Structure 1
Amino acid sequence: MSPDRDEILHAVSSAVLAVTRHLSVREVLQVITRSAQRLLNAKYAALGVPDEEGSFAEFVAEGVTDKQWDAIGPLPRQHGMLAALLREGVPARLPDIRLDPRFGDWPKAHPVMKDFLGVPIRDGERVLGILFLANKCEPGGFTQADQDLLTLFAAHAAIALTNARLYERGRELALLEERTRMARDLHDAVTQKLFSLRLTAQAAATLLDSAPDRAAVELDRVQRLAGEAMAELRAVIVELRPADLDHHGLAETLRKQVNLLDRVQPATRITFECGELPDLLPEVEEVVLRVSQEALHNALRHAGATEVTVRLTDDGRAVRLTVADDGLGFDQTESRGLGLISMRDRAESVGGTLSVTAVPGTGTTVEMEVNQ
């Protein structure tokens, strides 16, 4: 068997194993893109999955740094060579993409690409996406043999991508069933508790003038019922796993939330940093997400911060979440906030630890660590 065939089987195996490890569609796309880049020794590789609105539902790339992505801006539209590949559904191999009449343009910060090889990822007549490489790291650009190899790889990648989508669809159906169960729980427990709360409050209101002592008893009952309803509602909500975690994974879900907050909080710069993460248990992913949400909420609502940094790292022993702000800080000897207690309880529920460093006037750092 030739070395090329060995390499492609190894690359395809990596993409298929990504599915069997229950990774998200986006993670499978990243494995496919990275494998194609290594397989054909290209400086740049990308894979785009089109949507129905003239853009891309997913777009992943190798060879482009996060800083470059930020400078480039929004995801590309379906224009130029990308649109041609989607429309024509056949491979394109060019010595210089910039000289092709189908070439449009790219943003100012976009890296300069010359030799180009693109192939569609097809499921029958349907184009699932486009896989393309640019700037071969060897003289002479891409060859016909490279095109044949990438076309073969794309055919296997289509199977991996289809399987990943089917898996995620199954997870979505399971999530829908879980949400239906939660709705029943809300109706059976919380709704009835709130109904009792309303009746008790009405009774207390009618007794205020004629029998204040009895009204006081009813108001005590109102307070107790309200606490029970809140506890039951919190229990139901906590059991719901955020849908984005199943679809995009922890890093991408947190990145999206941070980017959204950064856009809607013009007075505060919020950034996200993330290294390579190992596969984490679903319950660990959810706890890390919940703790980060609570820490971000505190920083934005109470700290008056102008800078907030969310960081996810892995040192081979443990995964660490850090949320640091330059806000007001607080006196830890006086703080008894439920948010801090809740974060610590969540961390401990998955065998992790949570530490908070805060001094009035110097900001706050929340750090959660959980062993792999």
Structure 2
Amino acid sequence: MTELPEATPRPRTSLDELLAELNARLQTELSSRDRVHSLLEAVLSIGRELDLGTVLRRLTPAAADLVDARYAGLGVIGEDGRFSEFIPVGLSEEQAARVSRFPHGEGLLAVPTRERRALRLSDLSRHPGRHGFPEGHPPMRSFLGVPIQVRDEVFGNLYLTEKRGGGQFDEDDEAVVTALATAAGVAIENARLYEETRRRERWLSASTEITTRLLSGDDPHDVLGLLARNAREMAGADIAVVLLPEARGHELVARIADGPVAGQILGTPLAVSQTACGAVYRHGEAVTIPDLRHADCPMLTHRGFGPGLLVPLGTPDRTRGVLLLAKKGVSSPFGATTRHMIDAFAGQAAVALELAEARRDAERLVVLEDRDRIAKDLHDVVIQRMFASAMTLMSTLRLVDAPQARDRIQHTIDDLDETIREIRSTVVALQTPPTRSDYSLRGRILDAAEGAARSLGCQPGVRLEGPIDASVPEQVAEHLLAVLGEALSNVARHAHATEVHVSVDVDTHVTLHVSDNGKGIEPCGRRSGLRNLEERARDLGGTFSAEPSLAGGTLLRWSVPLPDRAEEAGSTARSDQSDVRQNTLPSGSTIL
């Protein structure tokens, strides 16, 4: 057999080299096309959103997918140049829980912000600005950081680390992430403008509603509750508290709260001289607190609240209170835009409160002017005419010989005298408005008589004379009302009366008369209730008596002095009566 020669290797031709180069270029073009396609999808994904939070949450994983990075992070830069928020990608919940703290935006991470350009490193541990990883942080080597610019402002930075397969980030990776960051800047600007527009719309709507309700006469407490709820929602806070000063001005008290723990906060006092809330109240300037857990705020410090915002209600010259807003846990602090918006909102609400108070004062002034006019008309016209009529009847009485006619005329004169006394009491009440802001003593006496009408079976007649609201101190007033209630209760239980009369006279003493036409006091009846009334009078240095009435039934008299106001009361009474005491009937009855 003839042996065949061994096969020799075929020489590599230029055609094979061209085919290999063509295949490599095709793979590169396909990879570039896929990457461009992925970039366009990422741009469209973040560009169609108008919610800023959604844009940021989509941007970070999209950047990691484009360059095959295992870990990614987005740091949002706050007012102080540090991160106000950090969004990590690639860490599981367990890994994230092990990290003691997330970056603050210093050292190596601040380079893209400071130089406004991308930073690409093969080993970030060799960079001089590296501060090291916190406890629990996974190891990282390759690094790519790209700034996100919104117009001329650096909004934040995109960070990508640990390229899959152990490779390094190249120029193409840098170009792709830079392009994505540029598109993200536009999307973030649109989202911020949209969010600001919605916030302003909400602010205008809430301000209009608050102003309208205040000027319509709604309760200011309810309107402040509406203010707290709207402020909390607009600022994205978890709790809103309205702190108002107590009477002495030494403390601020949580009068209104809106949020999950509102019920636990209401009524909590804060010292004006020792707290941040007190400083805002004194100086009238808004303050941002990074973390309430390390601040002196007793009502929120121990409840896990983090960022806080304190806004004065009113102007620096007249601060009416403080609005406190807070977020739960580790959250981004309140930004400058939010602070200015809430400050303006609270200021406008305070102006509305001022206008509402001015309107109420004007209405009160009109009422007081009407009361004064009516009192003058009663004093100068009605009483004088009745006095003239009484004097005419007195003159006529001398000319009448028939006893029956004389008795009828005298009875008419007595009725006129009593009517003049009642009108005089009304004049004093109109000219002396209540000194207490809650409720006048006159009103409480009338209410007590009105409330006893059902148990009495008849409507008591009430006569009030003298400066009751101006001269009777609260301590005496409480005793007076207790005695009146006990007296009316005794009449209802024991007297079986069809007529009951109540009179209160105030001069240097306050004197209460309660009379009825019932069966009178039983000689052997129980006297415990009467002893209580006597003790109340004795404790105040006064007197008490319960005697049979001339017209039948019982006359109860309870009288106590007003030592602190005796001179003032006498002076007032003399001033009120100086022009009328000279006009008296021959029988001694005072006309006015």
- TM-score using structure 1 length: 0.52
Paired position in structure 2 for 1:337: none
Paired position in structure 2 for 1:18: 49
Paired position in structure 1 for 2:123: 96
Structure with the greater alpha carbon radius of gyration: 2
Matches within 5 A, 1:337-352: none
In structure 2, distance between residues paired with 1:5 and 1:53: 36
Offset, 1:158: 0.8
Paired position in structure 1 for 2:418: none
Report if aligned partners of 1:85, 1:91 keep a CA contact under 8 Å in 2: yes
Offset, 1:186: 3.8
AA partner of residue 129 (structure 2): R
AA partner of residue 126 (structure 1): E
Q: 1:2 is paired with a residue of what secondary structure?
A: helix
Paired position in structure 2 for 1:265: 303
Q: 2:128 is paired with a residue of what secondary structure?
A: coil
Offset, 1:185: 3.6
For structure 2, which runs of at least 5 residues remain unmatched after alignment? 1-31, 238-258, 261-291, 294-298, 305-327, 330-592
- Does 1:177 pair with 2:168? no
Paired residue for 1:243, among 199, 221, 234?
234
AA partner of residue 123 (structure 2): D
Paired residue for 1:7, among 38, 42, 46?
38
AA partner of residue 163 (structure 1): N
For structure 1, which runs of at least 5 residues remain unmatched after alignment? 196-228, 247-252, 273-372
In structure 2, distance between residues paired with 1:238 and 1:120: 37
AA partner of residue 196 (structure 2): R
Paired residue for 2:67, among 28, 40, 53?
40
Report if aligned partners of 2:203, 2:234 keep a CA contact under 8 Å in 1: no
Cα distance per residue 1:245-283 (max 9 Å; x no partner): 59xxxxxx99xxxx98997238xxxx99xxxxxxxxxxx
In structure 2, distance between residues paired with 1:69 and 1:84: 24
Change (3 A) 1:238 1:82: closer
Cα distance per residue 1:37-70 (max 9 Å; x no partner): 1121211111112112142123211112344444
Paired residue for 2:110, among 72, 83, 87?
83
Report if aligned partners of 1:54, 1:77 keep a CA contact under 8 Å in 2: no
Matches within 5 A, 1:326-365: none
AA partner of residue 178 (structure 1): S
Change (3 A) 1:187 1:88: same
Matches within 5 A, 1:228-307: 242-245=233-236, 264-265=302-303
In structure 2, distance between residues paired with 1:235 and 1:49: 32
Change (3 A) 1:52 1:233: closer
Matches within 5 A, 1:68-217: 68-189=95-216, 192-194=217-219
Report if aligned partners of 2:123, 2:142 keep a CA contact under 8 Å in 1: yes
Change (3 A) 1:265 1:88: same
Q: 2:132 is paired with a residue of what secondary structure?
A: coil
Aligned-pair identity in percent equals 29
In structure 2, distance between residues paired with 1:42 and 1:48: 17
Cα distance per residue 1:221-262 (max 9 Å; x no partner): xxxxxxxx76x876787677712459xxxxxx99xxxx9899
In structure 2, distance between residues paired with 1:89 and 1:132: 14
Change (3 A) 1:73 1:188: farther
In structure 1, distance between residues paired with 2:228 and 2:125: 52
Higher relative contact order (CA 8 A, sep 6+): 1
Change (3 A) 1:31 1:178: same
In structure 1, distance between residues paired with 2:181 and 2:97: 28
Return structure 1 stretches of 4+ with deviation > 4 angstroms: 232-241, 259-263
Offset, 1:179: 2.3
Paired position in structure 2 for 1:63: 90
Cα distance per residue 1:99-138 (max 9 Å; x no partner): 1112122211222111111111123443221111011112
Corresponding residue pairs, total: 219
Change (3 A) 1:13 1:193: closer
In structure 2, distance between residues paired with 1:176 and 1:194: 21
- TM-score using structure 2 length: 0.33
In structure 1, distance between residues paired with 2:136 and 2:72: 17
- CA-atom RMSD, angstroms? 3.4
Report if aligned partners of 2:150, 2:188 keep a CA contact under 8 Å in 1: no
AA partner of residue 234 (structure 2): A
Q: 1:111 is paired with a residue of what secondary structure?
A: coil
